[in-house]
A and B are shown apart, each in its own frame.
Chain A
């Protein structure tokens, strides 16, 4: 052990040296340099065009034309932001999502209003405005080092002995060898400095590009409201799917269960009625037995239909929930064919939607335990932790439950994950093959 530590240190040091030595020859360093040059050119062009257009527009605001020019400027800013994102994607591999789409009402005034109020365009202008000083900083701090490094490394061929005095290098570093002793040693000094600068250059450039990346994410991507909106839209569509699926299931149950029961019931009563109608008064006792049988069956059918309807109604909204989750979960566990322990600790009642989701999750998980887990015992716990409600269902069965697996329980779990995700909750599964299984669901208490 005592020997290994220094070895490890040595290994780390070697790797660091390798990293630094290789960096100037790495593709990404050159891509960043290219990006800096191209995006600086774009930023200066954009800043110039936007400034000229904007000032012209402002000067003419008294006439309506000025406002139109400003609106056009904002549209142009949006377009240039798109080029900027494309440039970053192409050269840096940086994925910046498009901002909210430009959404104008029909007509000229609608277009003007939407353009003037286009947050994405104003943010794009802010980006290009901030990009100009960043570019100046980048030239001084990073580009100068690249240029000087390349010139100095080439000095043995060009016979160069001194440096230009621009940028960080010119002001701070170059005095170190600018007035070196003799011509020969000056040559060597310049070359060695060039090598050092070459190793340094990618890192200073990386810092500049990093700042630019952050700026792009903040100013050129969708703003926080839009991002939130998108994720809300996504979860809303999932909720919609889930509720459609629920309605479909209810319809299926009605169709196959209750409706068929009632049709059969009506059919039997119809038969009984015909028999009664068809009997001559003196004859009644002869066919009475048949009528008795039909009425018996109809009666049984009516009771089955009532049971079916009750189960169905429970599936739509469990009446037990009206008195709180604690009772509902206890009832649920008591109905489960696998002996299930319950522990519920919820000091304050969550919102009804959360209660319902919690109940259905517990119901689905217990049903899974009964159908797939081959467990002899299970437990259901539901406890409040601050703003979160945590439901855990454990069983001692065979395990192997997954959301994406191909087991028959998987679609149920995927459905649960969607439902839970729709209210910003989480579902996690710990179910090694051979068991035991623990499925944990966290739900916000209010949604």
Chain B
């Protein structure tokens, strides 16, 4: 967290209409948007000049409109490991997700742009990432699970356990999972323990370490 209590945010998005909308939305929800830029180079300069708590970055930006934003995100991860990164895209690509998460899941988010329509969820995800947590789009989790080479072991999970695993991978806490699935936190803990046991993963309490473990497993 920066000196003031409002999390500092830098936005990199080439579509002016979306950029302005985001600035307005985040300002209203109590974030301090220090910069809003339209390409990857300006993003890197802005972060270097005044590192924020979190950046929101579009994957496709000028000049080539391919994966500039992702390259910038990976570079930022190296130069400013403390800055949370929320990658924000109209498509989910498994390869991008894997690349982004290869250095760890702490302070990483990857969401579909559609998610801003649910303002509360979006803001919640951004807060998580700013605080060093993880926020993965359910699409990302589905794709990563689908791409996993160890589907055999996943097949051993019950339907409920798969749901819990997916939510864990999205970066949710046990209480959040309990709320979403309308079960008690204790029940969630039991499922999590079962999952760890079935997948042969050591149990830990920290959120992002759980995600990391899950992703490592999925990726393995």
Contact = CB atoms under 8 A, between A and B. Distances in A.
Question: For B22, B65, B119, which residue has the most chain A Cβ atoms within 10 angstroms?
Answer: B119
Interface in A266-283: 266-271, 274
Interface stretch (B75-83, B110-118, B139-147): B110-118
B17 A264 contact: yes
A267 B21 contact: yes
B129 to A, nearest CB: 18
A385 interface: no
A268 B90 CA distance: 17
Contact of B25 (A252, A261, A267): A267
A255 B28 CA distance: 27
A259 interface: yes
Interface in B18-62: 18, 21-22, 25, 28, 60
Given A255-B60, A255-B90, A271-B28, A264 B18 contact: yes
A301 B21 CA distance: 11
Contacts of B120: 274
Nearest to B28: A271
Contacts of A264: 15, 17-18, 21
A263 interface: yes
A188 to B, nearest CB: 83
A268 B118 contact: no
A301 B18 CA distance: 11
A240 interface: no
Question: For A269, A274, A301, which residue has the most chain B Cβ atoms within 10 angstroms?
Answer: A274
Contacts of A252: 65
B59 to A, nearest CB: 11
A255 B17 CA distance: 13
A267 B119 contact: yes
Contacts of A18: none
A301 B17 contact: yes
B21 to A, nearest CB: 4
B27 to A, nearest CB: 11
Main DSSP-derived SS at the A contact region = helix
Nearest to A252: B65
A289 interface: no
Interface residues of A, number: 16
A260 interface: yes
Contacts, number: 45
Interface string B1-22: 0000000000000110110011
A270 B118 contact: yes
B119 A261 contact: no
Contacts of A274: 119-120
Interface in A224-259: 252, 255-256, 259
A259 B60 CA distance: 13
Question: For A259, A266, A267, A270, which residue has the most chain B Cβ atoms within 10 angstroms?
Answer: A267
A263 B90 CA distance: 9
A264 B120 CA distance: 15
B66 to A, nearest CB: 11
Nearest to B16: A260
B47 to A, nearest CB: 23
A269 B21 CA distance: 11
B65 A260 contact: no
A255 B58 CA distance: 12
Contacts of B22: 267
A443 to B, nearest CB: 33
Interface in A328-382: none
B15 A266 contact: no
Nearest to B15: A260
B38 to A, nearest CB: 12
Interface of B: 14-15, 17-18, 21-22, 25, 28, 60, 65, 90, 113-114, 116-120
13 contacts: A256-B15, A260-B17, A263-B113, A263-B117, A264-B17, A266-B116, A267-B21, A267-B22, A267-B117, A267-B119, A270-B118, A271-B119, A274-B119
Interface of A: 252, 255-256, 259-261, 263-264, 266-271, 274, 301
